[in-house]
Amino acid sequence: MKILAIGAHLDDIELACGGTLAKAVKNGHTVKLVVMTDSAYTNFDGTVLRTQDEAFKEGVSAVERLGIKDLVILNFPIKNVPYNGSTVEALDKIMSDFRPDYIFTHWVFDTHQDHKNTAQATISAARYMYNIFMYEPIPPSGRSYAPFRPLAYFDISDSITEKLDSLREHKSQHAKYGEQWIEAVEGRAKIRGFENGCKYAEAFEVVRLSLDI
């Protein structure tokens, strides 16, 4: 199976569906990641939170921890990823070439403008694709004006380690949020796992699925 995961920034995908992707890799599936921006992050007051170089190094290390080799970084402007023909066509091209069976993207009601626009551009581009999952947002961006509806679960008990290790590679983020960042992600995986009858899980809201029986 071919799996395409799309995120606005380096670390979004790892945080939200890193366990599912690491498991897919272990099980022999082909996984491609697309990140919309170079993910350098400067605060409104000019404070540099991570440079382009740091973001790239951290991102590559994190992705490697998940066992993923195919990482594409687009250069849409951070904080200004648009939802229009430019992003839709960029993703349309990638999908037309790669022909993914499963697509993972941001949740469409995520409160970060880059996340929301990436989700919308993905869904627009994926008009001929049939399995689209929106991953659960992680604070600070996820507490929205609409509720997240967990519809599909993947058991990640065998890949939770890879997921958490991957997050630790994002040293700038880890420094910013502290160890609580890791613990919160693990805590969610526990409650989602309990909901799913397993130890750890990730949950997704579904746009649509085409299932075999």
- Binding flags for a copy of itself, 46-75, as an x/- string (CB under 8 A): ------------------------------
Query: Minimal distance in Å, beta carbon 17 to a copy of itself?
Result: 10
Query: Minimal distance in Å, beta carbon 74 to a copy of itself?
Result: 14
* Distant-in-sequence, close-in-space partners of 124: CB < 8 Å, separation ≥ 6: 83, 88
Q: Report the 10 Å Cβ neighbour count for 143.
A: 10
Q: Which stretch binds a copy of itself (CB under 8 A): 32-40, 50-58, 65-73, 196-204?
A: 196-204
Does residue 24 belong to the site contacting a copy of itself (CB under 8 A)? yes
Does residue 183 belong to the site contacting a copy of itself (CB under 8 A)? yes
Does residue 77 belong to the site contacting a copy of itself (CB under 8 A)? yes
Asked if residue 142 lies in contact with residue 110, where contact means CB atoms within 8 angstroms, the answer is yes
Query: Minimal distance in Å, beta carbon 170 to a copy of itself?
Result: 16
Question: What is the spatial distance between Cα 112 and Cα 76, in angstroms, rounded to a whole number?
Answer: 15
Give the C-alpha distances (Å, rounded to integers) separating 133 from 75, 101, 108. Answer: 24, 11, 11
> In the complex with a copy of itself, which residue's Cβ is closer, 69 or 146?
146
Among 80, 99, 175, 176, binds a copy of itself (CB under 8 A): 80
Give the C-alpha distances (Å, rounded to integers) separating 118 from 12, 88, 98, 109, 183. Answer: 11, 9, 18, 11, 27
